Amino acid sequence: MSYHWNWSVFLAQVPSGGTTYLGWMLSGLATTLALSLSAWLIALAVGSLMGVLRTVPGRWLSGIAALYVELFRNIPLLVQLFIWYFVLPEILPTGIGNAYKAINPMLQQFTAAMICLGLFTGARVCEQVRSGIDSLPRGQKYAGLALGFSLPQTYRHVLLPMAFRIIVPPLTSEFLNIFKNSAVASTIGLLELAAEGRQLVDYTAQPYESFIAVTLTFMMLNALVMVLMHRVEGRTRVPGYIGGGS
């Protein structure tokens, strides 16, 4: 085999000029970070709300939440992404659809990917939040209500603070997933990290360097998130608390 290794390829100027291949990779990384973090905020907000709804009395609200989870869990992420990106602008009322299609394509790709990843991950967060709340002893809810808290206050002050602490480990893996899943956005042309790596392959014929760099970057992101979430787990640990159940 006669592969010619050339790690200095990253320092070469791109054909269009103005930056190096390394610059491309870094801008891809920035896009990956921005996409993942903004989608994570959506996932946490929607997932928490839906997770709470799944546990409240009243069939209607928990039914809506269950429908949300099933819908977003049983359609492949790629199909969801294509529906957000290709289908939604078409079936919106013509005026809104055209206005959307008129904005910067990069921004279109980004918003579609952000909403898609956010709602997709939100369905998983929802299930974690629900199981966290369900794992608390029933007496905790009673104790909150018996002190005169309203149901929302009982969730806010009693149930959710413990439920979120309990589900930090599974939330960590969802947080990791969102970084990995963000690479799917390359399929609609969003120039995130994986797409920049692929572009580099097309331009330089140095596939190994490019792919190794992208793979290592994803591994580093992974390690970084794990360290971060470990910190979160340590910071929120409750003194003397051993586990759920009563």
- Determine, following the binding rule CB under 8 A, whether residue 194 of this chain makes contact with another protein: yes
Minimum Å gap between C-beta 88 and another protein is 9
What secondary structure letter does DSSP report for 84? Answer: I
Residues of span 93-122 touching another protein by CB under 8 A: 93-94, 97
Are 123 and 69 within 8 A, CB to CB? yes
DSSP-derived 3-state class of residue 169: helix
Instruction: Choose the binding region for another protein from 4-12, 22-30, 103-111, 206-214 (rule: CB under 8 A).
Output: 206-214
CA angle 26, 30, 35 (to 5 degrees): 145
Which of 23, 89 has the CB closer to another protein?
89
Task: Work out the burial of residue 57: count CB atoms within 10 Å of its CB; fewer than 13 is exposed, 13-18 middle, 19 or more buried.
Answer: exposed
Instruction: Choose the binding region for another protein from 5-13, 38-46, 111-119, 233-241 (rule: CB under 8 A).
Output: 233-241
Minimum Å gap between C-beta 76 and another protein is 4
Residue 193's φ and ψ, nearest 5 degrees, are: -60, -50
The C-alpha atoms of residue 58 and residue 63 are separated, in whole angstroms, by 9
The residues of the shown chain that bind another protein, judged by CB under 8 A, are 1, 70-71, 73-80, 82-83, 86-87, 90-91, 93-94, 97, 137, 139-140, 142-150, 153, 157-158, 161-162, 165, 176, 179-184, 186-187, 194, 197-198, 201, 207-208, 211, 214-215, 218-219, 222-223, 238-242, 246
